Copies of this chain bind each other. A is one copy, B any other.
Amino acid sequence: MNKAVVLMSGGLDSTTVLAYAQSQGYDVVGLSFDYGQRHKIEMISSEKIANYFRIQRKVFKIDLKQIGGSALTSEINVEKGKLDRNEIPNTYVPGRNIIFLTIAGAYADILKAETVMIGVNSVDYSGYPDCRPEFIESMEKALNLGLAGSYRCKLNLVAPLQRLGKGEIVKMGIKLKAPYSLTYSCYNGNERSCGKCDSCLLRLRGFMEANEIDPIEYSEYPDFYSEYIKSRNSTNG
């Protein structure tokens, strides 16, 4: 059975990847990062999700506040969400996925796992440069050149959601019975998701596009999602 290290944030995308990896027959080990994120509540979600899938989950601690420069790891406020933005938002954490993927690669090296999976996608995303396919490709190359395990076998860096829109991701996850009610995506880190940040907006639009209902609780829905719920109710009623 092939072993895969799957990065788990407790969010929608990585939970879909977990469901996908298990459906493909991988022996999955989860890896979560306690990195000083404002939305530490996602760690509770990722623990629940690991239990749901009955997989081993490792938590790696690394304090990215030491680098600073991001709303997710400092006192800077998370800026208001915006769909279809052109600039990189202030929630960008410099080097986050590069660091996470390197640690995942090193961990795969120790476990003799041949695959690392990550839930990045570059269709409905926040514009972070480390989510782009050309980055993932170059990172796979760097890991294979820099890790001793690559002398034994190639390490595959797989991003199964890379070219899917959020609606397609939700459809895929629901088909695979991903436990979306256990997931958490909001950047603000309150128990109820804010419904306003980039992450909430992208997530809710995904459920709308998939013609599904997001099972988690929000403080407030954005207008487009309220409209969608209303129109569903009137159709059903």
A-side residues, CB < 8 A to B, are 58, 60-63, 66-69, 88, 92, 94-95, 97-99, 102-103, 105-107, 109-110, 128-130, 132, 134-135, 138-139, 141-143, 145-151
> Are A145 and B150 within 8 A (Cβ)?
no
A69 vs B113: C-alpha distance in the bound complex, in angstroms? 14
Residue of B at shortest CB range from A58? B66
A145 vs B97: C-alpha distance in the bound complex, in angstroms? 11
Residue of B at shortest CB range from A109? B94
> Are A69 and B109 within 8 A (Cβ)?
yes
A86 vs B132: C-alpha distance in the bound complex, in angstroms? 37
Please give, as numbers and ranges, the residues of chain B lying within 8 Å of A103 by CB-CB distance.
67, 95, 99
Please give, as numbers and ranges, the residues of chain B lying within 8 Å of A106 by CB-CB distance.
67, 94-95, 98-99
Please give, as numbers and ranges, the residues of chain B lying within 8 Å of A102 by CB-CB distance.
95, 98-99, 102
> Are A146 and B98 within 8 A (Cβ)?
yes
A63 vs B198: C-alpha distance in the bound complex, in angstroms? 32
> Are B145 and A142 within 8 A (Cβ)?
no
> Are A142 and B138 within 8 A (Cβ)?
yes
> Are B98 and A142 within 8 A (Cβ)?
yes
Q: Which 10 pairs show the lowest CB-CB distances between chains A and B?
A: A95-B106, A94-B106, A130-B146, A135-B145, A138-B142, A142-B142, A94-B109, A98-B102, A69-B110, A135-B146
Name, among A95, A129, A135, the residue most crowded by chain B CB atoms within 10 Å (CB to CB).
A95
Given known contacts A61-B66, A103-B67, A132 and B110 CB-to-CB distance under 8 angstroms: no
Given known contacts A138-B142, A141-B138, A142-B141, A149 and B94 CB-to-CB distance under 8 angstroms: yes
A146 vs B100: C-alpha distance in the bound complex, in angstroms? 12
Residue of B at shortest CB range from A105? B95
A225 to chain B, nearest CB (A): 29
A62 vs B34: C-alpha distance in the bound complex, in angstroms? 12
A151 vs B86: C-alpha distance in the bound complex, in angstroms? 13
| Interchain Cβ contacts under 8 Å between A and B, 18 examples | A58-B66, A60-B67, A61-B63, A67-B106, A67-B107, A69-B109, A69-B110, A92-B148, A94-B148, A95-B102, A95-B105, A97-B146, A99-B103, A129-B145, A130-B145, A135-B142, A138-B145, A141-B141
8 Å CB contact of A147 from B68, B94, B150: B94
